[in-house]
Amino acid sequence: MRHFVLQRLLQMVVTLAIVAILVFAFSELLPGDIGRAMLGRFATPDQVLRLNHELGADRPLVERFVDWATHFAAGDWGTSQLLDTPVQSLVVDRLANSLLLSVVALIVVVPLSILAGLMAGVNENGLVDRFVTVVGLSMTVIPEFVSGVVLLVIFAVALHILPVTAQAPQGSGLGTRIEYLILPSLPLVFELFGYIARMARATTLAVVEAPYYRTAILKGLPRRRILTHHVLRNSLPASVTVVAAQFGYLVGGLVVVERLFNYPGIGKLLLDSAVHHDIRVVEACALTLAVLIMVANLVADVSYGVLNPRVRYAGR
């Protein structure tokens, strides 16, 4: 396991270097001009050129990349040229908001979807199985902006059960902040329920067809013990892998939900920065999300090895 983790960490470093090059290159290709974005459309071309020169935006591409990469690795992420705020503190604050929203969604969807997939797998072609297959697939194909608008109209506008906005009043405690995040988290729950539940169902079906499952039944073991000690234990590793992989998507793919509910997360920050050509913020957000996704995948692989000893022995 130690050799596996070290190998993956080395791969992460190489991948991160490639991602950094691609992020910087694509950021430079974004339409727009930082000097024009800061000065406005009424500024003269000479004023725009002078500001770009002061910001170093007219230097050679390779020189700018080396300067940016060395400062970024040293912890100096620069300053947002539009917000006049340190990029690092801005990205960290927004990332914390997105992580809180993602955790709220996962707390709801993970136990619900795994339980639904488990019940569907042990009762193949039953009512629960048909529900998970049909409803789970339907939830997956519904875009977040559609389900978000529908939920917003029903629970916030019509019934007044949940707050319209996702931002709790300033100074609110954790409980109040979570209450304000319930409605924004529901579109994410709908999106992820189908993926996780179908994976849990597929792995449960594989366990049900295994000889040791039939042996446990013939021994007369209680059904609860069979489900917890045989079915859940052997089907859980694959579900954990899916959850960890989807966690990276949750944090990085929250642009629609955060935009819809006007939530100050990293997805909304990335979109707004790209629109206004705030390159330093775009690059920092993209690299931060890349690291988060790679760490989530590493945690998924390690968790799978811990839960399934056969993987550890096979890798030796």
The confidence score (pLDDT) of residue 30 equals: 65
Give the span between the Cα atoms of 162 and 148, in whole angstroms: 13
Q: pTM of the predicted model, to two decimals?
A: 0.81
The confidence score (pLDDT) of residue 154 equals: 92
**DSSP letters spanning 202-244:** HHHHHHHTSHHHHHHHHTT--HHHHIIIIIIHHHHHHHHHHHH
Domains assigned to the chain = 2-73 (no CATH), 89-314 (1.10.3720.10)
The confidence score (pLDDT) of residue 1 equals: 67
- Neighbouring CB atoms inside 10 A of 41's CB total 6
Residue 207 burial (C-beta neighbours within 10 Å; 0-12, 13-18, 19+): buried
Report whether 283 contacts 21 (CB < 8 A): no
Dihedral-angle region of residue 75 (phi above 0 means left; psi in -120 to 50 means alpha; beta otherwise): left
The confidence score (pLDDT) of residue 145 equals: 83
**Residue type present at position 156:** A
Report whether 44 contacts 51 (CB < 8 A): no
> Bridge partners of 86?
79
The segments of the chain whose pLDDT lies below 70 read 1, 29-34, 37, 248, 252-253, 305, 307-316
